[in-house]
Amino acid sequence: MFKFRFLPLIGALLLLSGGFGAGAWWHGTRPKVSREGSGSSSRGREREPLAVRVVKVEPKMLEERIVAAGTVRASERVEIQTEIAGRVLTIGFQEGQPVRKGAILVKLDDVELRAGLERIVQRRRLADLRVERLRPLREGGFANLQDFDGAVTEAAVQKAEEEVVRAQLAKTTLVAPFDGIIGLRNISVGAVVSSSTRFATIESLDPVNVDFFLAERHAHRIQVGQPVRFSVAGDAREYEAEVFAIEPKVDEGTRTLLVRARGRNPDLALRTGSLARVVWIARSTLDALMVPAPSLVMGSDGADLMVVKEGVAERRRVRVGTRREADIEILEGIRSGDQVIVAGAHQVRPGAPVKVLKN
């Protein structure tokens, strides 16, 4: 009776131990083909060439253009002012019109100066007459030396005073110092003026100067005699000029260098003060090696290009030159005929096989 009570329990234990054994046997003997097959497939994908697009490097013409903002200025500019006070008698110019060198612009009243000049002239004549009378007497020993010397000195003083008044008379007539365009006048006939009164401004507009600033790094490259081109707003034409003066000092505040160019303005269309867009061709070459900007791989220690050589990607350290919007000049690191990776340069690794896609 006792034996039959434990038979169900013993059977359950036997079934449980048989199940664990079978599981262990299956775990140890199941095939591993699927895992090994997955690894082989992954390694196959790694060896598959990466599709890239390339560009063949060929020599091209390159102009390194430096664009700067400038200002049109007159080659000669003078504010018309008098050196003496007086009343304006006549005005001999039309506002905004051309004037010729030596043309009378303003005439001041000179009545008092002319009267004073006449008085001095008479005194000088009297002094000269006295000298002429005393000279033979002095030579004959009948005239005092002191009297003769006094007469000579008086004649010299009167002559000097006459020259002073004549110089003041000349200042009552203001003439144009050069050919140019005269601006708006600030005086009227009958006005009493002084040496601080500005009558008008005269400017020479052919040729004109163009002042512009260049960055400090270009200071050693710009030279007198180099050509520049410039344009102004509202005028579709492009004017030519030539650098003729360079400021010797770099501005400490802006770190820029002031350059002055001069160009023709035959129809006087250019106006002083106009904003000019100046273009300076700093360098021109026919054999520049240019690559598209996206092909350049920038790193913390420099720039690289990925080049395809015999179906394998190769990293090249390069030295960059002129940068433009779409492409970049390469000075060192590649040669004409190299195939530079454009699309996929950032994904491919050096030594990896690549497949060049047709454009």
CATH number at 349 reads 2.40.420.20
Strand pairing category for 50-56 and 354-356: parallel
The answer to whether 138 touches 130, Cβ cutoff 8 Å, is no
Q: What's the CA gap between 187 and 197, in Å, rounded?
A: 9
CA 303 to chain CA centroid, Å, is: 28
The per-residue pLDDT for 342 is: 87
Strand partners, 119: none
Domain count within the chain:
4
88 belongs to a structural domain = no
138 belongs to a structural domain = yes
Q: What's the CA gap between 289 and 338, in Å, rounded?
A: 10
Q: What's the CA gap between 228 and 279, in Å, rounded?
A: 6
28 belongs to a structural domain = yes
pLDDT in tens, the chain (359 residues): 444 444 454 444 444 444 444 444 434 444 444 444 444 444 445 568 888 888 888 888 888 889 999 999 999 999 999 999 999 999 999 999 999 999 999 999 999 989 998 999 998 898 888 888 888 777 777 777 777 778 888 889 989 999 999 999 999 999 999 999 999 999 999 999 998 899 999 999 999 999 999 999 999 999 999 999 999 998 889 999 999 999 999 999 999 999 999 999 989 999 999 999 999 998 888 888 989 888 888 887 888 898 988 888 889 999 988 888 888 889 998 898 898 988 767 778 888 888 888 76
SS3 354: strand
> How far is the first Cα of the chain from the last one, in angstroms, to the nearest whole number?
94
The per-residue pLDDT for 205 is: 93
Together in a domain, 219 and 268? yes
Domain-terminating residue out of 250, 265, 284:
284
- Return the closest-CA partner of residue 289 out of 326, 332, 324: 332
55 belongs to a structural domain = yes
Q: Which amino acid is at 179?
A: D
- pTM equals 0.67
Together in a domain, 158 and 214? no
SS3 323: strand
The answer to whether 275 touches 67, Cβ cutoff 8 Å, is no
Q: Rg of the chain's alpha carbons, rounded to an integer?
A: 48
The per-residue pLDDT for 34 is: 41
Together in a domain, 299 and 253? no
The per-residue pLDDT for 46 is: 56
Degrees, nearest 5: CA angle 288-289-294: 130
Residue 101 Cα distances to 62, 78, 159, 185, 267, angstroms: 46, 13, 31, 18, 19
Q: What's the CA gap between 102 and 177, in Å, rounded?
A: 6
The answer to whether 65 touches 325, Cβ cutoff 8 Å, is no
Q: Which amino acid is at 271?
A: R
Which residue intervals of the chain are DSSP H helices? Answer: 2-29, 33-46, 111-140, 145-170
102 belongs to a structural domain = no
295 belongs to a structural domain = yes
Domain-terminating residue out of 226, 255, 284:
284
The answer to whether 174 touches 119, Cβ cutoff 8 Å, is no
Domain-terminating residue out of 238, 257, 284:
284
Q: What's the CA gap between 222 and 276, in Å, rounded?
A: 18
Beta-carbon contacts of 12 under 8 Å, excluding residues fewer than 6 positions away, are: none
Together in a domain, 250 and 212? yes
Residue 19 lies in domain = 2-45
Q: Which amino acid is at 14?
A: L
Together in a domain, 219 and 264? yes
Together in a domain, 276 and 292? no
Q: What's the CA gap between 319 and 232, in Å, rounded?
A: 36
245 belongs to a structural domain = yes
Together in a domain, 291 and 349? yes
Q: What is the CATH number of the domain that holds 279?
A: 2.40.30.170
95 belongs to a structural domain = no
Q: What is the CB neighbour count within 10 angstroms for residue 134?
A: 20
